[in-house]
Structures are given as structure tokens and as C-alpha cells.
Structure 1
Amino acid sequence: MSTITESEQVIGNNAVYPGLINLNDNTEVAHNLFGMLNFIAEELDSLYSGLIPEDTQEHIKK
């Protein structure tokens, strides 16, 4: 997981520090980054579901 988050950070930093949005950027890299981000979100959701009782989760959703 740390490799994924480090990759997201390095690629993201390289993309924003120039101060320009490159509309011709590599779409394959963008799709892979979103895939990694979705993986992280799913893992966090799984951890959340396993750690917090269902009734507490329902209370938080309200």
C-alpha cells in the first residue's frame, strides 16, 4: 500500500508543480492513478467496515 501512495504522491507532485495543466497528458497514467486511488478507497472502506460496529456506522451516516 505504501508503494501505491508514494507513486500517487510522486506522479501528482510532478503534475502540479509546473503550474500548468497538460491537456495532452498520458491518459494511460491517469487511468492507472485512478485505479490505484480506487484500490486505496476500497481498502479503507474494508478496514472501516471491519473496525466499527454496524449500528455505529448507521449512526455516523445520519
Structure 2
Amino acid sequence: MALKVHKVYRALLVNPVHKDIKDHKVCKALRAHKVYRVLLVNPAQKEIRDHKVCRALKVNRVHKEQMAL
């Protein structure tokens, strides 16, 4: 599991709009690695919860404008 989670995050870091990443895998990665939620959340919204990030990912795929730091 850890390897798959890391692969998901490496793909997110390399190409945020990578369409091969499944949303449920991204949600699993968010639950396992809460530290990395900063990558998926707007820096102005530091109080956001992980489940909201997962819901936002399902709605907007991956926040490409927010991930392009």
C-alpha cells in the first residue's frame, strides 16, 4: 500500500493533471499522508479537512491551479 500511495503522490508532484490517477487512490493517499494535504489545498485555506480535499478532488479532478505553486 505504501508504495502505491507514494507512486500516486509522485505522479501528482510530477504531473498534477495526470488522468491515469484514480480519485479513490488519491483519497487513500490523502488519508494516509495528511502531511501532503498542503499540496492539494490552497495555502489560504490551511484549516480545511482531508475529507473536504477528497471531495474537492472528485469535483475538480486535481486542483491544477492550486497545485501549480
| Fold in common (TM above 0.5) | no
Hey, which of these two has a bigger chunk of helix by percent?
1
TM-score relative to the length of structure 1: 0.32
Greater gyration radius: 1
TM-score, scaled to structure 2: 0.30
